[in-house]
Amino acid sequence: GENVEQHPSTLSVQEGDSAVIKCTYSDSASNYFPWYKQELGKRPQLIIDIRSNVGEKKDQRIAVTLNKTAKHFSLHITETQPEDSAVYFCAARGAGNMLTFGGGTRLMVKP
Amino acid sequence: DAGITQSPRHKVTETGTPVTLRCHQTENHRYMYWYRQDPGHGLRLIHYSYGVKDTDKGEVSDGYSVSRSKTEDFLLTLESATSSQTSVYFCAISGGQANTEAFFGQGTRLTVV
């Protein structure tokens, strides 16, 4: 089955700096890669996603890049703000429509 | 928010007892998933369903069973609860096309004592 690795597990940045979270996946048939943000005590919520026929997607301060050849994708957050502090999960959808998640990254933005 | 509701929201049960968690959706989505979330492990897939009476195992299915007798309900059963099944359980749903967003329920915090 699919295996998704996510790094780093924790990330601390200064407000205004950029943050980058990286994921790799194993199943070359995976074709959909969402990113979720989970605040403490809340459910995960989608912040951005990318499909396998696209190399990059941007939404305001958030961008995702996908390298299908290397089987990795990354989340980039620019001009970080304290409210960006949360746990972020990457995921990959592969065979049978299974959605497999990475282990999560705890992002802390220091004011 | 998508129409997805989990019940109960919190439960404490004793080791060895059966427990059933319910996920109910009003979106008529085809796919439904059960995940467990534990510190250091992220979200791990237990079982998922791709239609009524169509289910498959995820990466941590041992000790769990599921049933989907109608589109809107997906039940997760712990046949004989163990302390290692203490966790937060999330249900998720997604639509008929392969690449649509998955929406999560509010989660169920289960404690096995």
pLDDT digits (tens, 9 = 90+) for A90-105: 999 987 788 899 999 9
In a structure prediction context, what are the per-residue pLDDT tens digits for chain A, which is 111 residues long?
A: 789 999 999 999 999 999 999 999 999 989 899 999 999 999 999 999 998 888 999 999 999 999 999 999 999 999 999 999 999 999 999 877 888 999 999 999 999
Rounded distance, CA B107 to CA B3, Å?
Answer: 14
Cβ atoms of A33 and A96 within 8 Å: the answer is: no
Write down the pLDDT at residue B84.
Answer: 96
Cβ atoms of A71 and A100 within 8 Å: the answer is: no
Rounded distance, CA B66 to CA B71, Å?
Answer: 13
Q: Is the dihedral of CA A82, A6, A92, A74 positive or negative?
A: positive
Contact residues of B toward A, CB < 8 A: 31, 33, 35, 40-45, 48, 50, 56, 58-59, 90, 92, 94, 98-99, 101-107
Rounded distance, CA A7 to CA B5, Å?
Answer: 31
Q: Indicate if the pLDDT at residue B1 is higher than 80.
A: no
Write down the pLDDT at residue A87.
Answer: 97
Write down the pLDDT at residue B39.
Answer: 83
Q: Please indicate whether, in this complex, the C-beta atoms of B44 and A43 are within 8 angstroms of each other.
A: no
Rounded distance, CA A96 to CA A103, Å?
Answer: 21
Q: Please indicate whether, in this complex, the C-beta atoms of A46 and B101 are within 8 angstroms of each other.
A: yes
Task: Tell me which chain B residues have a C-beta less than 8 angstroms from the C-beta of A91.
Answer: 43, 102
Cβ atoms of A104 and A37 within 8 Å: the answer is: no
